[in-house]
Amino acid sequence: MTTWRLVSSFTGDLPRPFWVMWWGTFLNRLCGFVVPFLTLFLTSQRDLSPVQAAVAVSALGLGGFVSQLLGGVLADRWGRRRVMLLALTLSPPFLLALGLAPTYPLILGSAFLFALLGDMYRPAANAAIADLVAPEERTRAYGLMYWAVNLGFAFAPILAGLIAARSYTLLFVVDAATLLLYALFVGVGVPETRAPAGRGAGQPGALAVLRREPLLFTFAALTLLFAVVMNQGYVTLPLAMRQDGLGEGTYGWVIALNGLLIVSVGLFSARFLGRFPAPAVLSVALGLTGVGFGLNALADTVPGYALAVLVWTFGEVAQAAVAPGVVAALAPVHLRGTYAGVLGATWGLSGLIAPALGGWALGRYGDGVWWGCLVAGLLGALGFLRVSGPLRRRLAQAEQA
């Protein structure tokens, strides 16, 4: 078997616009410095307290929560490509403003507006993938897209740590530039993929459908639990490591293990995970994530934190490859963007809740925050087992449609 055939056995015969989005995502995440280092930037460069920094990160979550819902609805009404272009071109100025803002209110406002505009591209991109890729290939496609995210992220913290040691402002400049580069990729290589307006004529509207979709909201609630735990890795973990005498560069190297592991297994994981029922995969994912973050309670050295990262990364890989495809299968064709927006909004809501909750719990209970993550992960695992039957029936119906 040639090298190309070996690679193709894992990547599949996916369309060219998908690969344009893949490369744009990779380059953007390679230089996606700001969010992982925002708490460190605000506490070390703007002299904010950990609680103030956590609230600022929560402003990103609030903007992301609104943005995901808005972006999903607009992707169904205006088209995937148009929404992606708007998000990627309008958000960079507010990212730069976040890095230059001299006062705390301006920091909060810039963070909110950057997330409000920037995160609109996510549900539009997820809907575009569902439009472009056959149902049987979606787990592979979403897994590969997440692989691109982490292929870039594997090296981004190391690069960011080196840049931050010299100039935090440059982090914001480079990050903003790659958003514009991603917009160029979409403008040149991604056509509009949404169904023509006439195809959805006579179909019920989003609110009417969502009112009759308790399974989607149960799925979103369990995803929210997962996301709140996961966000502690980028908000609370660097603060906990600092308390243990481990600096910014050390955090960068430890968190880079997350991306390196995903890069190592991501190309193969989507094909492997597609063999198992989605609810079972999601249950295991939440359990592993809870256990991994729970291990932080026992860690006070680099090897201890590194082991914890490796464990919860396996849970992250499984969830990321399976969850978007499940939501795409549940969605009516004319509401794929809206459904993707609901799933994405859980991550925005977690970004609102998790920083303040994690910062408060770390300050009040210390390692108790990690025991809380363990309990949350195990409860989420049980929740997916509870809805396994109804979810599998809906997925089977979608495959037959």
Residue pair 286/377 in contact by the 8 Å Cβ criterion: yes
Q: Which of 365, 386, 269 is closest to 320 using CA atoms?
A: 269
Residue pair 288/313 in contact by the 8 Å Cβ criterion: no
Q: Which residues of 292-327 are buried (b: 16+ CB within 10 A; e: fewer)?
A: bbbbbbebeeeebbbbbbebbbbbbbbbbbbbbbbb
The model's pLDDT over 155-168, given as tens digits with 9 standing for 90+, comes to 776 787 777 777 77
pLDDT category, 128, cuts 50, 70, 90?
very high
What CA–CA distance (Å, rounded) separates 225 from 142? 21
Q: Which of 231, 223, 258 is closest to 346 using CA atoms?
A: 223
Q: Which of 85, 91, 86, 90 is closest to 60 using CA atoms?
A: 91
Q: 3-state class of 111 per DSSP?
A: helix
The model's pLDDT over 245-277, given as tens digits with 9 standing for 90+, comes to 887 678 878 887 887 788 788 677 767 777 788
Q: Which of 128, 116, 148 is closest to 32 using CA atoms?
A: 148
pLDDT at 113: 95
The model's pLDDT over 338-373, given as tens digits with 9 standing for 90+, comes to 888 888 888 878 877 887 788 888 888 888 899 999
The answer to whether residue 174 scores a pLDDT higher than 90 is no
Q: Which of 230, 177, 236, 227 is closest to 43 using CA atoms?
A: 236
CA trace torsion 65, 341, 227, 388 (10° rounding): 140
What CA–CA distance (Å, rounded) separates 337 from 94? 25
**Tokens 């979409």 sit at which residue?**
186
Structure tokens at 277: 């029922």
Asked which of 11-15, 50-54, 67-71, 199-203 is least confident by mean pLDDT, the reply is: 199-203
What CA–CA distance (Å, rounded) separates 56 from 47? 13
**Tokens 């809805």 sit at which residue?**
387
Mean pLDDT of the chain: 84
DSSP state of 12: -
Structure tokens at 42: 């605000």
Q: 3-state class of 370 per DSSP?
A: helix
- Which runs of consecutive H residues, i.e. helices, occur in 119-191? 121-132, 138-153, 156-164, 168-189
Asked which of 65-79, 323-337, 378-392 is least confident by mean pLDDT, the reply is: 323-337
The radius of gyration of the chain from alpha carbons, rounded to an integer in Å, stands at: 20
Q: Domain extents for the chain?
A: 15-198+214-400
Residue 256 phi/psi, 5-degree rounding, is -65, -25
- CATH code for residues 15-198+214-400: 1.20.1250.20
Residue pair 320/140 in contact by the 8 Å Cβ criterion: no
pLDDT at 331: 80
Residue 232 phi/psi, 5-degree rounding, is -65, -25
What CA–CA distance (Å, rounded) separates 379 from 222? 9
pLDDT category, 83, cuts 50, 70, 90?
very high
Across the range 175-190, mean pLDDT stands at 93
Total residues belonging to the chain: 401
The answer to whether residue 9 scores a pLDDT higher than 60 is no
Q: Please, what is the Cα angle at 365 between 363 and 370, to 5 degrees? A: 100
pLDDT at 364: 84
Across the range 4-14, mean pLDDT stands at 55
Using a pLDDT cut of 90, give the percent of the chain over it: 32
Using a pLDDT cut of 70, give the percent of the chain over it: 90
Across the range 311-315, mean pLDDT stands at 92
How far is the first Cα of the chain from the last one, in angstroms, to the nearest whole number? Answer: 36
Q: Which of 202-216, 279-293, 387-401 has the highest mean pLDDT?
A: 279-293
**Tokens 């989005």 sit at which residue?**
21
Who has greater pLDDT, 71 or 164?
71
Structure tokens at 6: 């070996």
